[in-house]
């Protein structure tokens, strides 16, 4: 364990609260993505350091067991809060009081040493329980309502109270674990003092995402392959990638994510993107794969010449790390966490969001130069190994826990 921890002689009992993002969920849905991966991997990496971790997530199906072992040292606890069925995350706020009350009852009997909540509604529930029981609370937002409202405006489906609630969580917790420097600045604009914030990036599994391993099939119809991977929502910028493709003859674009392949035709975002591809004259070079299993992600990334991450905004962005870990160059919009993770020009390129021409220009430079692609890929792998492996992320997170748990110095009167 890290130095300076109040309990450095023994394992910590750690509660991770993740109200909508279960580490057991299938990825690729509208509300299932990077946070699910983050919570699962962080829990596992903390367990590898000798801690006992319980992940509290909302019961969203009747047949779920109360507790599910995720791996050695990690258990998922399904919390009854609201009906046991799938509910969009933006409709979960009314159930957070019940979630928090349940946590308080659980922790009154078996209090954890430290609580770490993930996403603002988890923070509200955890704040209720930890305040009542005087337990230390750390919080990771994963995304901020101020940023979402700025970019999505009327399309933002968050509850109107979100920003005020985020400020309440930020002021009420003991530490905020931010995932990038851009978030620290945004929190400052919300009035949250910088001395409450520590930056610990998200991580990537460097044993699963490697340059070596199975590679998804390429039929040779096109000299180059571009891949965009992630949730199929407008802010991820797939329309920008399609616009860029019209300026990149000889390349195919694989768009990975969204519903399963057999349900793609019914998805409104897929239909919108197909229309855009037809209008741009590239429909024959765009393939929608739908949601894929976790095991398929690394082989797909290895099959790419360049990985595109052109989101309008990106609170952190796991995909650039996964691509870099696989030794692939990344062209990403210069926003949010991607400003920290993608080193331009060493590991890829950063471009303005919403600019198909800039995206095409940067991708084209890499497609035209195999040696440059290989150099960027090798530099990306080195960068991930030095900064973003889960053991390092867990150690950094643990050090923030230890800050909060360290006994406070006794203040005496002036001598």
Kindly give the confidence (pLDDT) of every residue in the chain, 415 residues in length, as a single tens digit, with 9 standing for 90 and above. 444 465 543 699 999 999 988 888 744 444 456 788 899 999 999 999 999 999 999 999 999 999 999 999 999 999 999 999 999 988 999 999 999 999 999 999 999 999 999 999 999 999 999 998 999 999 999 989 888 888 777 777 788 899 999 999 999 999 999 999 999 999 999 999 999 999 999 999 999 999 999 999 999 999 999 999 998 999 999 999 999 999 999 999 999 999 999 999 999 999 999 999 999 999 999 999 999 988 999 999 999 999 999 999 898 889 999 999 999 999 999 999 999 999 999 999 999 999 999 999 999 999 999 999 999 999 999 999 999 999 999 999 999 999 999 876 555 544 4
Assess contact for 181 and 340: CB atoms under 8 A: yes
Q: How many CB atoms lie within 10 A of CB 128?
A: 18
In the chain, ranges of CATH 3.40.50.2000 domains: 13-203+390-405, 224-387
* The CATH number of domain 224-387 is 1.20.140.10: no
Whether 143 and 235 have beta carbons less than 8 Å apart is answered as: no
What six digits make up the tokens of 227? 């891949």
Q: Is 178 left (phi over 0), alpha (psi -120 to 50) or beta?
A: beta
Instruction: Determine the CATH number of domain 13-203+390-405.
Output: 3.40.50.2000
Long-range contacts (CB closer than 8 Å, 24 or more residues apart) made by 79-85: 79/19, 79/103, 81/19, 81/125, 82/58, 84/59, 84/60, 85/60, 85/61
Strands 330-333 and 175-178, bridge-based pairing: unpaired
pTM of the model: 0.88
C-alpha torsion sign, points 27, 30, 31, 37: positive
Angle between helices 238-245 and 356-367 (to 10 degrees): 60
CB-side neighbour CA atoms (13 Å) of 24:
21
Instruction: Dig out the tokens for 274 from the structure.
Output: 């197909």
């Amino acid at each position: 364990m890290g130095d300076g921890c109040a309990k450095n002689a023994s394992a910590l009992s750690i509660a991770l609260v993740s109200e909508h993002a279960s580490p057991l969920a299938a990825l690729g849905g509208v509300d299932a993505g990077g946070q699910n991966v983050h919570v699962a991997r962080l829990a596992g990496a903390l367990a590898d350091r000798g801690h006992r971790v319980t992940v509290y997530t909302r019961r969203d199906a009747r047949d779920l067991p109360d507790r599910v072992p995720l791996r050695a040292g990690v258990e998922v606890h399904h919390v009854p809060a609201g009906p046991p069925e799938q509910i969009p995350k933006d409709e979960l706020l009314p159930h957070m009081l019940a979630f928090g009350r349940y946590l308080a009852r659980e922790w009154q009997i078996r209090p954890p040493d430290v609580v770490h909540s993930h996403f603002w509604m988890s923070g509200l529930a955890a704040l209720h329980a930890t305040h009542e029981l005087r337990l230390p609370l750390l919080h990771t937002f994963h995304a901020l309502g101020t940023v979402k409202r700025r970019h999505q405006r009327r399309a933002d489906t968050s509850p109107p109270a979100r920003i005020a609630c985020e400020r309440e969580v930020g002021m009420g917790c003991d530490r905020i674990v931010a995932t990038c420097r851009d978030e620290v600045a945004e929190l400052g604009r919300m009035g949250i003092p910088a001395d409450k914030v520590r930056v610990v990036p998200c991580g990537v599994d460097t044993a699963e995402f490697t340059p070596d391993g199975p590679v998804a099939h390429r039929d040779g119809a096109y000299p180059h392959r571009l891949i965009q991977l992630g949730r199929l929502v407008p802010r991820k910028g797939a329309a920008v990638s399609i616009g860029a493709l019209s300026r990149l003859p000889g390349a195919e674009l694989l768009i990975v994510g969204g519903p399963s392949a057999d349900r793609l035709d019914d998805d409104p975002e897929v239909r919108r993107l197909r229309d855009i591809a037809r209008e741009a004259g590239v429909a024959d070079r765009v393939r929608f794969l739908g949601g894929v299993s976790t095991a398929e992600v690394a082989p797909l990334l290895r099959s790419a010449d360049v990985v595109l991450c052109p989101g309008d905004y990106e609170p952190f962005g796991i995909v650039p790390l996964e691509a870099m870990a696989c030794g692939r160059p990344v062209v990403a919009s210069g926003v949010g966490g991607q400003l920290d993770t993608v080193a331009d020009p060493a590991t890829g390129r950063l471009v303005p969001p919403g600019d198909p021409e800039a995206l095409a220009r940067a991708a084209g430079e890499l497609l035209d130069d195999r040696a440059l692609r290989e150099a960027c890929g090798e530099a990306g792998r080195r960068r991930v190994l030095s900064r973003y492996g889960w053991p390092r992320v867990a150690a950094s997170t643990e050090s923030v826990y230890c800050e909060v748990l360290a006994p406070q110095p006794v203040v005496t009167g002036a001598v």
